Amino acid sequence: MSDYLWFEGIPFPSVNEEERIEEIRNVFVIRDEDTVILTYPKSGTNWLIEIVCLIQSKGDPTWIQSVPIWERSLWIESKRGYQKLISKEGPRLINSHLPFHFFPKSFFSSKAKIIYVIRNPRDVLVSGYFFWSKTTLVKIPESLTTYFEWFIKGNVAFGSWFEHTRAWLSMRKRDNFLLLSYEDIKKDTKSTIKKICDFLGKKLEPDELDMVLKYSSFQAMKENKMSNLSLIRKVVAPNGLVLLRKGMTGDWKNYFTVAQAEAFDKVFQEKMAGFPPGLFPWE
């Protein structure tokens, strides 16, 4: 078990390094042709990566079934991903959980496209509790009650969900920013795939679209060892990781007490005040 790397008040998983975080923010150059998938952890990041990869391959599963997901879309904040991104030519698929003010400054004057996925933070909390507890990257809570308290305070990986989301949503009216929610993707995956295609300027034939849908399903991803994180290094997760846990909306209701649900509602109302009704499909 390890602790977080605390940097400028944000707890990062312990594999992060201050120097790299600074370099990413100040030196890394985002290019106009890049596509970025940006999320707060446990919001459906890997699902989106799978969908975008399948859109790129026009539904052909060869790529997603032969190359690990972290090699297809490179994590900017990981050492390996960062080094590969620097030397990679052509359009890059980039992944990140970085809070807004840590993201490369070069992005804000670029035409690079960014897809930001949000999810009911209550489900994010439950998903995160089960996921992070299996890794050696963070401080392990003794119970869900403890993790609940840390989450509300923002003392979990990549900091406060509320701050992460508020800050990134300030970009939502830009042409190069696509806002999606886990809930909407689940409700109508096909329409979401079409929306992503429009945003990325890609066109799929109906049968190609069906293949994207088929190979990005929960079951298909769960069975794909290149996507389900079963190939993750033992040093990160000695007993293995389950990424595809339940894949449902509203699972928090199976875990929160009535008091926790009420406390969470109150915090949500306070911290997310000012956003238009309807922006958060789960509320």
Question: Which residue carries 């312990």 as its tokens?
Answer: 14
Residue 85 makes contact with ligand A3P by CB under 6 A: no
Q: Does 127 bind ligand A3P (CB under 6 A)?
A: yes
In sequence order, what are the residues at sequence separation of 6 or more whose Cβ sits closer than 8 angstroms to the Cβ of residue 3?
14, 138, 139
Query: Where do we find the tokens 């391959």?
Result: 57
Q: Which stretch binds ligand A3P (CB under 6 A): 8-16, 37-45, 72-80, 84-92?
A: 37-45
Q: In this structure, are residues 54 and 215 in contact, taking their beta carbons and an 8 Å threshold?
A: yes
Q: In the bound complex, what is the minimum distance in angstroms from residue 177's beta carbon to ligand A3P?
A: 18
**Other beta carbons within 10 Å of 45:** 23
Q: Figure out which of the listed residues 44, 59, 81, 99 binds ligand A3P, where binding follows CB under 6 A.
A: 44
Among 47, 70, 82, 107, binds ligand A3P (CB under 6 A): 47
Strands (E) in the chain, as ranges, are: 5-7, 10-12, 35-39, 74-75, 93-96, 113-118, 177-181
For residue 216, state whether it binds ligand A3P (rule: CB under 6 A): yes
CB 2 within 8 A of CB 124: no
The helix or strand, by DSSP H or E, that contains position 209, with its residue range, turns out to be helix 206-215
Token readout for 111 is 């035409």
Could you say which of 214, 225, 246, 266 contacts ligand A3P (CB under 6 A)?
A: 246
95 touching ligand A3P, by CB under 6 A: no
Closest by CA to 147, choosing from 161, 163, 164, is 161
The candidate with the shortest Cα–Cα distance to 70, out of 239, 228, 242, is 228
- Taking the least distance from each CB to ligand A3P, the nearer of 72 and 110 is 72
* Binding residue count for ligand A3P, defined by CB under 6 A: 20
Binding segment (CB under 6 A) for ligand A3P, from list 147-155, 197-205, 242-250, 263-271: 242-250
Point out which span in 52-60, 136-144, 170-178, 238-246 binds ligand A3P (CB under 6 A).
238-246
**In 10 A of CB 30, how many CB atoms?**
22
Closer residue to ligand A3P (CB): 110 or 147: 147
Please choose, from the candidates 244, 231, 238, the residue with its C-alpha nearest in 3D space to the C-alpha of residue 67.
231
Question: In terms of Cα–Cα distance, which of 118, 120, 141, 119 is closest to 129?
Answer: 141
Contact 21, 97 (CB under 8 A): no
The answer to whether 218 contacts ligand A3P (rule: CB under 6 A) is yes
Choose the catalytic residue: 72, 97, 119, 122.
97
User: Which amino acid belongs to residue 140?
Assistant: I
Q: Can residue 41 be called a binding residue for ligand A3P (CB under 6 A)?
A: yes
Is-catalytic flag, 101?
A: no
35 scored as a contact of ligand A3P (CB under 6 A): no
**x/- string (CB under 6 A) for ligand A3P, residues 145-184?**
----------------------------------------
Q: How far is the CB of 72 from ligand A3P (least distance, A)?
A: 13
42 touching ligand A3P, by CB under 6 A: yes
| Smallest distance from ligand A3P to CB 229, Å | 9
Which are the catalytic amino acids? 97
Question: What residue ranges bind ligand A3P (CB under 6 A)?
Answer: 39, 41-47, 123, 127, 216-218, 221, 243-247, 251
